[in-house]
Structure 1
């Protein structure tokens, strides 16, 4: 019997380009595909250097590591699955990355406290979980995680999501069934 070949998660650019991340077998996640990461980080190339990033629903940690590979200053990665947290930390140790903090926490709980704003925020919750996505967007605004000129990347299934009035769409693309949207916050209200 043939086994299904698992696609490897690679870093697509920067100082870790081509490096393979840890295995995500036996986990119930769908990591951001390499072709999607290339689009997203092409969009972010003029903003990423020295940025402070928040990776909500980190999963494999691929967006966090890709950010550091492309010269982000630091990343906080939120992930509720302990096995994934452990694997991300193993990869960080293997790559000698010290400026990613991986927190074993539910994103919703973590966002429901007063925060300090981030330059770039990644929102890639479990696919098709619109409630989780919309709640996250509300909490980002309500609890001060965004500031004027924050950039927010969202992976979603359709256009029917909540977007605050002070977020403006910069870029949008559909790859397969996944919609990619990049917003910036243009003013505080």
Structure 2
């Protein structure tokens, strides 16, 4: 039986390792089944990828990504106790490939110049943060030309209104969780390359 307030890494070189998290308001680790499906979608992209885990919480998505072959993960969360726990888990796993930023996600995005291949958006449900974050990512060009954005939300919430130039690549619902993977429309990518 799994200990309370732990998340199991599903696959990769940390397979079956447990990471601890502190329960808190809005902290809701992505369920195992959802993560399994998501990372099956990401198989062609994950190896060597630079990932950004916004609203990191337990770090389940970021740790899973690194376990499965990502090159580097940046985790962003505004709660100091959450960030401290994430650092502890990094030490327990013996990794230096994770950068933890204790900051509001929107503030971080306005200030960073980094680009990422895979971005995870998993904010507390019942907020407008997913839409606000996606729009800001689009304006800041935080994704690489072939980058993808994952968004997780409650099934009771209105679907994300996409900025121009993006499309749903994969989507599914499980229980109360709706999750989607978005990519840039290829014509948009080609235009961006032509203008550089």
Q: Specify if TM > 0.5.
A: yes
Q: Which runs of 5+ in 2 are unaligned?
A: none
**TM-score (norm. length: structure 2):** 0.88
Aligned to 2:29: 31
SS at match of 1:16: coil
In the alignment, structure 1 residue 150 sits paired with structure 2 residue 158? no
**TM-score (norm. length: structure 1):** 0.91
Contact 2:7/2:19, CA 8 A, preserved across alignment:
yes
Instruction: From the two aligned structures, give the one with the greater strand fraction.
Output: 2
Distance 1:62 1:176, change over 3 A: same
Distance 1:114 1:78, change over 3 A: closer
Partners of 1:111 and 1:23 lie apart in 2 by: 24
> Deviation of residue 177 (structure 1)?
1.1
Partners of 1:60 and 1:72 lie apart in 2 by: 18
> Deviation of residue 159 (structure 1)?
4.4
Contact 2:21/2:82, CA 8 A, preserved across alignment:
no
Contact 1:146/1:185, CA 8 A, preserved across alignment:
no
Partners of 1:57 and 1:39 lie apart in 2 by: 20
Residues 35-74 of structure 1 correspond to what in structure 2 (within 5 A)? 35-74=33-72
Root-mean-square deviation (CA, aligned residues, Å) is 1.5
In the alignment, structure 1 residue 76 sits paired with structure 2 residue 70? no
Partners of 1:43 and 1:84 lie apart in 2 by: 28
Stretch moving more, 47-56 or 104-113: 104-113
> Deviation of residue 77 (structure 1)?
0.5
Partners of 2:112 and 2:52 lie apart in 1 by: 15
| Structure 1 segments (4+ residues) deviating >3 Å | none
> Deviation of residue 114 (structure 1)?
5.3
In the alignment, structure 1 residue 172 sits paired with structure 2 residue 165? no
> Deviation of residue 23 (structure 1)?
3.4
SS at match of 1:6: coil
In the alignment, structure 1 residue 109 sits paired with structure 2 residue 118? no
Which residue, out of 131, 135, 138, partners 2:135? 138
Partners of 1:143 and 1:114 lie apart in 2 by: 9
Partners of 1:103 and 1:122 lie apart in 2 by: 15
Query: How many equivalent pairs are there?
Result: 183
Aligned to 2:83: 85
> Deviation of residue 7 (structure 1)?
5.7
Contact 2:5/2:21, CA 8 A, preserved across alignment:
no
Instruction: From the two aligned structures, give the one with the greater helix fraction.
Output: 2
